[in-house]
Amino acid sequence: MLRKGLRFTYGAALSIRNGAMGLIVLATPLTAQEITVAALGDSLTQGYGLAVEDGFVPQMQAWLRDQGADVTVMNAGVSGDTTAGGLARVDWTLTPDVDAMIVALGGNDLLRGLDPSMSRANLDGILATAAEKDLPVLLVGMEAPGNYGPAFKEAFDTMYPELAQRYGAVFAPSWFEGLGLQEQSLAAAQDYMQADGIHPNAEGVSLIVEGLGPYVLELIERVE
């Protein structure tokens, strides 16, 4: 589980980019056969504090199917997981039936103040494992708060786009992009958060799904 300190991290972390991408409406199905996407992440992916149907994975799957995509999204989110935890389980997560992967990890690394070089190495290993299996990946980025210092922030923030470019992954700059809170206060985000101020509520997840959905559509278009 992402602990209370993440109010700070995901908070100005919720310096959520506006850049809201419009919904992509497809007149015909994207695929001739069902695609399975594994969502590798932490409590945000797992759906902490929500009814099962309100979590990220069920809502994303429903959104994709509304766009005409025959997709099953597999919940590979573990509360409290770090990039190291993701690396430890990525190989057995990518079973033969998995066609693509979403990677959304790093928040708990921030909470623990882990060296960004360690986080980068772990994410590199995750992406390398997917590359070995010839699977497309969507890498979801995040930003460190300024209290760790400029060097830490620079190293952490840049590892996501740089790794995405290195491996040719689809890159989504922020998990919270769909909330569309560019220059508003953290208090404005609370309407979309649970009482802990960390995890999104069902409405927040719905907006997050709308923000990330177009990136996932781009991901599944890469499935061969």
Q: What is the CATH number of the domain that holds 173?
A: 3.40.50.1110
Q: Does 21 fall in a domain?
A: no
Name the catalytic one among 54, 91, 157, 196.
196
Catalytic residue among 42, 43, 99, 206: 43
- The answer to whether residue 173 scores a pLDDT higher than 50 is yes
From 81, 174, 199, 206, active-site residue: 199
Task: Label residue 32 by pLDDT band (50, 70, 90).
Answer: low
Q: Is 150 a member of any domain?
A: yes
**Has 117 been annotated as catalytic?**
no
The reply to whether 87 falls in a domain is yes
Q: Which domain holds residue 176?
A: 6-14+32-221
Residue 132 lies in a domain: yes
Query: Over the chain, what is the mean pLDDT?
Result: 85
Q: Is 119 a catalytic residue?
A: no
Using 50, 70 and 90 to split pLDDT, how confident is the model at 112?
very high
Model pLDDT, residue 179: 83
Does the annotation mark 206 as catalytic? no
Question: 110 in a domain, yes or no?
Answer: yes
Strands (E), the chain: 35-41, 71-77, 100-104, 137-140, 170-172
Query: What total number of domains does the chain contain?
Result: 1
Residue 23 included in any domain: no
Total Cβ atoms within 10 A of residue 18: 12
